[in-house]
Amino acid sequence: MRHLHVALWGVLPYVVLVLFASGTAWRFRYDRFGITTRSSQLHESRLLRVGSPLFHTGLLLVAGGHAVGLCVPESWTERLHVSESLYRLNALAAGGVAGVAALAGLGVLLWRRIRVRAVRRATRRDDRLMYPVLAAALAAGLAATLLAPVSDGYDYRLGVSVWFRSLFELSPDVSAMAHAPLVYQAHALLGMALFALWPFSRLMHAFAAPLGYAFRPYIVYRSRGRAVPPPAPRSLTRR
């Protein structure tokens, strides 16, 4: 069992990181124009208008919550005089709402993909693999968030978060993750599977967001022909 823990929590994260980085670099080098959402809005837009904003907004909030929960040590919040009970309540409220929104939005999008024939026919093999992994990862994360207050005194900030930060120190704390509850381990494994699939799926469009449009200079249009003067206003006096 010790060797399995080392493989899962000490070796596998770096394998996933190498696969994620090399796959992303390969896509940008050889398939840059293939990085797209493969939008199916022309086939159906009513369900898309509901599911897409709900899913993407919830997913952004989930990512922000993970960044705070995994990267900010407990000692930092104690220095800011944020009590543990207040932190847990905020994490439960914000994380629960974000997780439910992302999972509900994904459910609408999957129902749309199954129900609308044209959208279903446009589904590719990588989508059939990516969507279940994404749904399972979101469900496991939501379960971990909702079950955290009733867990047997387990504090993920002293376990999962310590393991996550130790990966960047190139000294993985395998025992910190090996003693985590099963729901946290499942969520971590599904998250790594998702990042391993990321470069080879439509999730790559997250790196192609047109952020530059917000900062580009104005485009000035000029007519090629001679400018036509506006007509003179008519006189209101009677002849």
Total H helices, total E strands in the chain = 10, 0
Mean pLDDT of 3-21: 95
Domain of 91, CATH number, reads 1.20.950.20
Inside any domain, residue 233? no
Residue 105, CA atoms < 13 Å, CB-side half-sphere: 22
Inside any domain, residue 174? yes
Residues 105 and 51 sit within 8 Å (Cβ to Cβ): yes
pLDDT at 218: 66
Assessment of whether the complete model's pTM goes beyond 0.85: no
The candidate with the shortest Cα–Cα distance to 123, out of 134, 132, 109, 113, is 113
Residues 20 and 196 sit within 8 Å (Cβ to Cβ): yes
Q: Is the pLDDT of residue 41 over 80?
A: no
Residues 112 and 33 sit within 8 Å (Cβ to Cβ): no
The candidate with the shortest Cα–Cα distance to 203, out of 42, 23, 58, is 23
pLDDT bucket at 101, cuts 50 / 70 / 90: very high
Q: Could you report the per-residue pLDDT of 144-187, keeping only the tens digit for each?
A: 888 776 556 788 888 999 999 999 999 999 999 999 999 999 99
Which residue ranges are tagged as binding site for heme b?
Answer: 56, 66, 187, 205
Break the chain down into helix, strand, coil percent, rounded to 5. 75, 0, 25
Count of structural domains, the chain: 1
Which comes out higher in pLDDT, residue 238 or 76?
76
pLDDT bucket at 210, cuts 50 / 70 / 90: low
Of all residues in the chain, what percent carry a pLDDT higher than 90?
50
> What span, in angstroms and rounded, lies between the C-alpha atoms of 17 and 12?
9
pLDDT at 198: 93
Q: Is 215 helix (H, G, I), strand (E, B) or coil?
A: coil
In which residue are the tokens 């493969």 written?
38
Residues 127 and 202 sit within 8 Å (Cβ to Cβ): yes
What are the DSSP calls for 114-170, one per residue? Answer: HHSHHHHHT--HHHHHHHHHHHHHHHHHHHHHHHGGGSSS--GGGTHHHHHHHHHTT
Domain of 159 in residue numbering reads as 2-208
Q: Is the pLDDT of residue 216 over 90?
A: no
Q: Is the pLDDT of residue 19 over 80?
A: yes
Inside any domain, residue 213? no
Q: Token pair for residue 172? A: 């993985």
Inside any domain, residue 49? yes
Inside any domain, residue 95? yes
Inside any domain, residue 8? yes
Inside any domain, residue 142? yes
Count the neighbouring beta carbons within 10 Å of the beta carbon of residue 196: 18
Inside any domain, residue 31? yes
Of all residues in the chain, what percent carry a pLDDT higher than 70?
85
Most confident of the following: 5-9, 145-149, 201-205, 217-221? 5-9
> What span, in angstroms and rounded, lies between the C-alpha atoms of 145 and 172?
24
pLDDT bucket at 44, cuts 50 / 70 / 90: confident
Which residue ranges are tagged as binding site?
Answer: 56, 66, 187, 205
Give every CB contact of residue 217 below 8 A, 6+ residues apart in sequence: none
